[in-house]
Amino acid sequence: MHNSLVLILVVTAAVIFDFTNGFHDTANSIAPTVATGAMRPRTAVALSAVFNLVGAFLSLHVAQVIAKSIVSQGSVTLAVIFGGLIGAIAWNVTTWYHSIPSSSSHALIGGVVGAMLAHAGSHAVLWHGIASKVLIPSLVAPTLALGLAAIATITARRLTSKVPSGELSAGMRFGQIGSSSLLSLAHGTNDAQKTMGVITLALVANGSLVKSSNTPNWVVVVCALAIGLGTFIGGWRIIRTMGQGFTKMSSTQGFSAQMSAAAVILSSSHFGLPLSTTHVATGSILGSGVGTPGEPVRWRLAGRVGAAWLLTLPLAAVFGAVGYCGENIFGLTTGAVVMGAVVTLYCGAVYLKSRSGVINASNVNHAWDQQSESLEKDKASA
């Protein structure tokens, strides 16, 4: 069924989601670089934006998995995709406000699955694909990243034990610029692809593409630009959590964490696995702390973040289902406009509320305990 207006709304929502994905996940690429002072915050986000943009053009394997392995293409409608997208956007903005490095990928997949369940029931969801392409990698990837980062940190410390501290710090910080760039490139090869896959689904549902079609070039360009711009904005709240919250990182730890995360993400992109880059980056940062004797790791914070990870898929699914049902109340075209307006108002309200405890490039590296206490007071008085 062709509906040009709704298709435009769906593509717009997808681009907005891709933008939120960019600023939500900026921390994955640059948090260690900013935390160790290897680059100034603004320079770091600008460099990351460029490499995210480039990475989006390098591979389409993940886009094809999202388009073909999550829900049945024959049951997909524009209403389902739009409901899933607004659910994912709402979850991304909510977790950003609370400084939680949750998975944008799982938010998107959960939103689309929830909308599909509301539309056609469980038979239209490709549960095997979700288990093999999403759930299993989400368990294996952060664990693997943690182990690799711990080993890399221990190895780096031993190999450089005789290097003067000044030379070591300078060399590792220079290496972090390279590792941050590589990680940003890896992020672009994985996360930008997910929105490309969703837009491809929308084009198939609208009859603009036949089933099993490849992702059009214009979709690749638009999604690459959106995630690059979102990265350039910088998600400072989450950057602070990942850079200062889990452990106090040295330049050696930062380099080891970023190289380990990049290796895992690039491998997953090669095999078309839409894993969460947030899970991988968080696991690698925790691993760098595990591999450093005497460096405390804040496991309580990690536990809270882990709980949010467990909730992301089901709650994003609920948001997606609510978005789909809201569209049905008013009819497809009017419902899409109404639900889009509701989510826009919600995001605006969250943004205004966030201004009472601003985190930006100037205070992102403040000591974690002091900054956390200050933010909690600001939120309590808001």
Instruction: Give pLDDT tens digits for 14-30.
Output: 999 999 988 888 888 88
Model pLDDT, residue 277: 82
Q: What's the chain's Rg over C-alpha atoms?
A: 20
Alpha helix stretches (DSSP H) within 56-164? 61-69, 78-97, 104-120, 127-130, 136-159
Nearest to 305 by CA among 99, 88, 22: 99
Greatest alpha-carbon pair distance for the chain in Å reads: 70
381 lies in some domain: no
194 lies in some domain: yes
153 lies in some domain: yes
372 lies in some domain: no
294 lies in some domain: yes
How many domains does the chain fold into? 1
373 lies in some domain: no
Q: What is the mean pLDDT of residues 287-306?
A: 90
CA–CA gap between residue 290 and residue 296 (Å, rounded): 8
Q: Which residue segment(s) compose the domain that 209 sits in?
A: 4-367
- The string of pLDDT tens digits covering residues 113-148 is 999 999 999 999 999 888 888 888 888 889 999 999
- 3-class DSSP assignment, residue 125: strand
Query: Any bridge partners for residue 71, and if so which?
Result: 125
Q: Could you tell me the two tokens for 77?
A: 């409608």
CA–CA gap between residue 185 and residue 57 (Å, rounded): 10
CA–CA gap between residue 376 and residue 357 (Å, rounded): 9
Q: What sign does the CA torsion over 113, 114, 115, 119 have?
A: positive
Q: Does this model's pTM top 0.95?
A: no
* HSE value, Cβ hemisphere, 13 Å, CA-based, for 120: 17
- The string of pLDDT tens digits covering residues 193-245 is 778 888 988 898 888 888 777 788 899 899 889 988 988 887 899 999 999 99
374 lies in some domain: no
